[in-house]
């Protein structure tokens, strides 16, 4: 198997011709014959015993050629593509050029990565907007932790209060007639949550366990059930139980329970520092996004459509994988969203285009700046992937070629270089 021709046929498109010697082709045809003869019936021969020459005489010399060619193409094309030295993108279009006494000649029309130009990529000016940490933000996070460490207690010695949860039976009547959806038993209603009709929860507050009472309310004018909108209603209500969430005090004991710190002041200071770091990470990520957008604007390239299509398919596959990790799939997603594969592709297309352009720009910068991926870089990335997926590093190395890791690392280091040389002005968001 060898490459016989590599010729540019249009911009970013080549035709490769590659040959398969007669002995290899004949062996592939014979392998197909041996696989298929078992199901071929020929008069005068037991099923599966007819000679190849007899079958070819009956059905034509090329009866086994198509399957043999399909078996040979992957290996032959891979060798030819490697020998060509082209940076091929997308799927090739194959044709049979000839089959004769010299063997088989195939052609593959392929697209290649475009020539890329990019200038003035160092020294880009960009603003970095950092959001300051407020006391309210720190207090909100503390309150979230506090609620996670709360305990629910039964209230038996007082009436229900706003903020309590009342377990109630209720049935609603409008003009003396019970209405659909207006009845419930053992319903846990958080008083003050606003989950019931305005005025309902306030009238439950002040009532005791086992007390039966009426709640008088008026449905809002914009209520979803048109037949009830704007009408007065009476609910017959009985309280079975009252519970209250008791929050822990914000003191040193709380800090010891929820952190490694001995005092509440230390815990609060650490929490503030973590929020600041989170804001800083968000700001850094935004800077990178702005730099990438600028690089895309500076990029000059005639990008083949197949690159966008291939990247869009990658996004769709990744999305399907994420859905499956959540117990869903694309079919179920389409059922509930009313979308289909074409509309999902259309939705993913802008992200795919951005990714293709960004990578081309950064690959060019890596080449211009002689960026290299060291063995340390590659091994570090292998370790990161292994840790993320909880598998042995040797398994990662078996499934991901080092050259692919190296290309990704060069792109990452190119972006790091652009960021290092950028003129970043920090301001408060």
H or E segment and range at residue 205: none
367-415 pLDDT, tens digit each:
999 999 999 999 999 999 999 888 999 898 888 999 999 999 999 999 9
CA distances (Å), 87 to each of 74, 83, 111, in order? 17, 11, 8
CA distances (Å), 318 to each of 181, 311, 367, 399, 401, in order? 42, 11, 29, 17, 20
Same domain, yes or no: 283 and 326:
yes
* CA angle in degrees (0–180, nearest 5) for 233-234-235: 120
The reply to whether 262 falls in a domain is: yes
H or E segment and range at residue 41: none
Residue 278: predicted pLDDT: 96
The reply to whether 37 falls in a domain is: yes
Residue 38: predicted pLDDT: 86
Same domain, yes or no: 266 and 239:
no
- Residue 174's contacts (CB-CB under 8 Å, 6 or more residues apart) are 182, 228, 231, 232, 233
The reply to whether 304 falls in a domain is: yes
Same domain, yes or no: 11 and 100:
yes
294-320 pLDDT, tens digit each:
999 999 999 999 999 999 999 999 999
CATH number, domain at 298?
1.10.3120
Residue 413: predicted pLDDT: 96
* Pairwise CA distance, residues 60 & 56, whole Å: 5
CATH number, domain at 173?
3.10.50.40
Same domain, yes or no: 231 and 304:
no
The reply to whether 204 falls in a domain is: yes
Same domain, yes or no: 384 and 285:
yes
Interval 117-123 mean pLDDT: 96
* Pairwise CA distance, residues 288 & 105, whole Å: 49
The reply to whether 120 falls in a domain is: no
pTM of the model: 0.75
Same domain, yes or no: 370 and 270:
yes
Torsion on CA atoms 291, 293, 295, 298, rounded to nearest 10: -140
Structural domain boundaries, residue 170 = 151-246
162-205 pLDDT, tens digit each:
999 999 999 999 999 999 889 999 999 999 999 999 999 999 99
Same domain, yes or no: 313 and 216:
no
Same domain, yes or no: 26 and 86:
yes
Same domain, yes or no: 277 and 417:
yes
The reply to whether 285 falls in a domain is: yes
The reply to whether 145 falls in a domain is: no
Both tokens assigned to 398: 């078996």
CATH number, domain at 40?
3.30.70.1050
Domain boundary among 62, 94, 112: 112
22-71 pLDDT, tens digit each:
999 999 999 999 999 888 888 888 888 888 888 888 888 889 999 999 99
Angle between helices 341-368 and 305-325 in degrees, nearest 10:
120
Same domain, yes or no: 101 and 63:
yes
Same domain, yes or no: 162 and 90:
no
pLDDT over 90 percentage in the chain: 82
Q: How confident is the model at residue 281 (pLDDT cuts 50, 70, 90)?
A: very high
Tally of structural domains, the chain: 3
Same domain, yes or no: 317 and 195:
no
- Residue 282's contacts (CB-CB under 8 Å, 6 or more residues apart) are 131
Domain boundary among 178, 212, 246: 246
Domain boundary among 82, 112, 142: 112
Residue 1: predicted pLDDT: 64
Q: What are the helix (H) ranges across 326-428?
A: 330-337, 341-368, 375-389, 393-399, 402-421
Residue pair 90/73 in contact by the 8 Å Cβ criterion: no
327-350 pLDDT, tens digit each:
999 999 999 899 999 999 999 999
- Residue 106's contacts (CB-CB under 8 Å, 6 or more residues apart) are 17, 18, 19, 20, 69, 73, 76, 77, 94, 95, 96, 97
The reply to whether 118 falls in a domain is: no
């Amino acid at each position: 198997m060898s490459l016989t021709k590599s010729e540019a046929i249009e911009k970013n498109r080549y035709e490769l011709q590659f040959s398969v010697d007669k002995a290899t082709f004949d062996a592939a045809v014979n392998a197909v014959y041996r696989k298929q003869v078992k199901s071929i019936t020929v008069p005068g021969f037991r099923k599966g015993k007819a000679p190849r020459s007899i079958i070819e005489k009956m059905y034509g010399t090329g009866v086994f050629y198509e399957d043999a060619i399909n078996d040979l193409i992957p290996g032959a094309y891979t060798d030819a593509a490697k020998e060509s030295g082209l940076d091929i993108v997308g799927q090739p279009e194959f044709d049979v050029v000839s089959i004769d006494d010299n063997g088989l000649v195939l052609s593959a029309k392929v697209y290649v990565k475009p020539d890329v130009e990019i200038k003035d990529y160092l020294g880009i000016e960009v603003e970095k907007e950092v959001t300051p940490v407020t006391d309210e933000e720190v207090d909100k996070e503390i309150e979230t932790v506090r609620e996670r460490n709360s305990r629910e207690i039964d209230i038996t010695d007082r009436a229900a209060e706003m903020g309590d949860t009342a377990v109630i039976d209720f049935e609603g009547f409008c003009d003396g007639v019970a209405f659909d959806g207006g009845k419930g038993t053992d319903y846990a209603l958080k008083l003050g949550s606003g989950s019931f009709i305005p005025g309902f929860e306030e009238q439950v507050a002040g009532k005791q366990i086992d007390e039966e009472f009426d709640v008088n309310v008026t449905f809002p004018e914009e209520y979803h059930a048109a037949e009830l909108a704007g009408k007065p209603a009476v609910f017959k209500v009985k309280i079975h139980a009252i519970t209250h969430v008791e929050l822990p005090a914000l003191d040193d004991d709380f800090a010891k329970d929820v952190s490694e710190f001995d005092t509440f002041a230390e815990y609060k200071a650490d929490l503030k520092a973590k929020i600041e770091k989170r804001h800083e990470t968000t700001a850094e990520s935004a800077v990178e996004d702005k730099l990438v957008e600028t690089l895309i604007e500076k990029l000059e390239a005639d990008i083949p459509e197949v690159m966008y299509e291939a990247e869009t398919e990658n996004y769709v596959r990744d999305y399907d994988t994420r859905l499956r990790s959540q117990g869903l799939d694309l079919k179920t997603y389409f059922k509930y969203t009313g979308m289909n594969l074409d509309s999902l592709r259309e939705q993913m297309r802008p992200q795919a285009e951005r990714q293709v352009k960004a990578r081309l720009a950064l690959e060019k910068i890596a080449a211009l700046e002689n960026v290299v991926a060291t063995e340390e870089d590659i091994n570090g990335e292998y370790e990161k992937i292994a840790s993320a997926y909880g598998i042995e590093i040797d398994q990662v190395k078996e499934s991901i070629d080092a050259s692919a890791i190296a290309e990704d690392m060069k792109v990452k280091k190119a972006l790091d270089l652009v960021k290092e040389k950028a003129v970043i002005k920090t301001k408060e968001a």
